[in-house]
């Protein structure tokens, strides 16, 4: 007789005896009742069995029917398995629904239009952008800092005061997006809508964020880079670069949406103004280098600000090529172009001032040296 086989049979018999003893004890104390149907599980009927039977009795609905019959407060999300799943939002209060209905703009035009009509749609925004650039040039050239006693925060450094004011304006917009009676106003003037461009939204959306994470991320960059640029160029020049960068970046984004007939995508945020500030700072300090602070000196590479700006622009172009749509890369590029142009204008103006103070231009100095050398050679 095989001893191993005998041992295995004995173990199986002991397990059956143990299960029978457990079932008998459970039946005796009332926590288990034997089922009449022999095909059911020995553990009895579970709640999952009842749920399964309930859904088996329901008529099968296709996903298309579910989407077709979805309420306006439903949204399609992408399940990790790859299929679309209907996500229903909780019912809003009646007063919130009323303001949501009022916030809908009735003058949207989603029709496909020809190129002349697209250009006509962009014409008011184009004029507005040119007017903002003209105003900011005058601001940069004529701004005079107020005396200390006339300032709102006289004990705060000017750079910190300017950036704090901008942050407070942006924080106010975040709060207003959560006040239903203000939704219609915010939709009109603090959100770019290609189906109905409004000129003031090009400026308003620069101070507008709906997501707290978006707001805190942008304001963190503004504080660390904006205060440095402000110290370098002064309040008038800083505000000119910030405002032109935000408006021009918004205009580039709007043109891209309108010219490609993508009229249902909206845009907002200070990212365009921030990329303008970053580009201006890198351009003004183009000859400087920096090292990543949290890396050891032997590991942290020395990076020039020129190279940093090139890498940032290349990243935006790569995002456009790869089709990343969660970020408005076109607006960022518009900000970089605007900030670079503004910094070059400031450097040119500073160079002209130095030449005027010296009385001659570098070219005139070179010509004077050449003429002086020729006279010396001729007399010898």
Catalytic residues: 271, 332
Cβ atoms of 234 and 210 closer than 8 Å: no
Decide: helix, strand or coil at residue 291. strand
* Partners of 75 in the β-ladder: 87
> Do 190 and 170 form a contact (C-beta atoms < 8 A)?
no
**CB-based burial label for 236 (10 Å; 0-12, 13-18, 19+):** middle
**57 torsion bin: left (phi>0), alpha (psi -120 to 50), beta (else):** alpha
The span from the CA of 248 to the CA of 271, in Å, is 12
Spatial contact of 283 and 341, defined as CB atoms under 8 Å apart: no
Rounded Cα distance between 107 and 258, Å, is 16
d(CA 86, CA 70): 8
Gap between the Cα atoms of 18 and 12, Å rounded? 10
Would you say 227 and 160 are in contact if contact means Cβ atoms under 8 Å apart? yes
Q: Quickly tell me which residue has 């749509």 as its tokens.
A: 325
Query: What's the angle, vertex CA 31, arms to CA 27 and CA 35, rounded to 5?
Result: 65
Q: Measure Cα distances from 206 to 193, 225, 331 in Å.
A: 14, 17, 11
Q: Between the CA of residue 51 and those of 70, 85, 266, 320, 362, what are the distances in Å?
A: 24, 21, 43, 48, 88
User: Cβ distance 98 to 235 under 8 Å?
Assistant: no
Per this entry, what is the length of the chain?
380
Q: Indicate the SS3 state at residue 355.
A: helix
């Amino acid at each position: 007789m095989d001893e191993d086989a005998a041992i295995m049979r004995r173990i199986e018999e002991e397990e059956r005896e143990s299960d029978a003893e457990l079932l008998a004890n459970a039946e005796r104390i009332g926590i288990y009742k034997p089922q009449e149907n022999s095909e059911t599980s020995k553990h009895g009927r579970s709640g999952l069995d009842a749920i399964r039977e309930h859904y088996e009795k329901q008529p099968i609905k296709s996903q298309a029917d579910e989407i077709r019959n979805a309420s306006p407060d439903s949204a399609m999300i992408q399940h990790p398995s790859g299929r679309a799943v209907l996500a229903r939002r909780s019912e809003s209060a009646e007063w919130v629904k009323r303001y949501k209905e009022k916030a809908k703009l009735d003058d949207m035009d989603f029709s496909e239009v020809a190129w002349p009509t697209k250009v006509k749609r962009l014409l008011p925004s184009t004029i507005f952008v040119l007017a903002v650039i003209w105003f900011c040039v005058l601001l940069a050239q004529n701004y005079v800092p107020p005396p200390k006693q006339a300032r709102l925060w006289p004990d705060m450094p000017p750079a910190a005061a300017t950036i704090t004011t901008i942050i407070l304006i942006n924080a106010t917009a975040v709060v207003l997006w959560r006040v239903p009676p203000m939704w219609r106003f915010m939709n009109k003037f603090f959100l770019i809508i290609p189906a109905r461009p409004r000129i003031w939204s090009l400026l308003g959306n620069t101070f507008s964020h709906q997501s707290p994470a978006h707001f805190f991320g942008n304001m963190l960059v503004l504080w660390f880079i904006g205060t440095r640029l402000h110290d370098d160029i002064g309040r008038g020049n800083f505000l000119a670069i910030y405002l032109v960068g935000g408006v021009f970046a918004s205009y580039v984004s709007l043109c891209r949406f309108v010219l490609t007939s993508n009229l249902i995508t909206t845009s907002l945020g200070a990212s365009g103004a921030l990329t303008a500030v970053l580009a201006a700072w890198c351009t003004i300090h183009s000859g400087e280098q920096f090292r990543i602070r949290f890396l050891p000196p032997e590991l942290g590479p020395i990076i020039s600000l020129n190279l940093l700006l090139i890498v940032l622009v290349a990243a935006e172009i790569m995002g456009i090529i790869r089709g990343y749509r969660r970020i408005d890369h076109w607006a960022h590029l518009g900000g970089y172009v605007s900030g670079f142009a503004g910094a070059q204008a400031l450097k040119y103006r500073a160079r002209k001032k130095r030449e005027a103070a010296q009385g001659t231009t570098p070219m005139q100095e070179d010509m004077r040296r050449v003429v002086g050398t020729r006279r010396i050679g001729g007399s010898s």
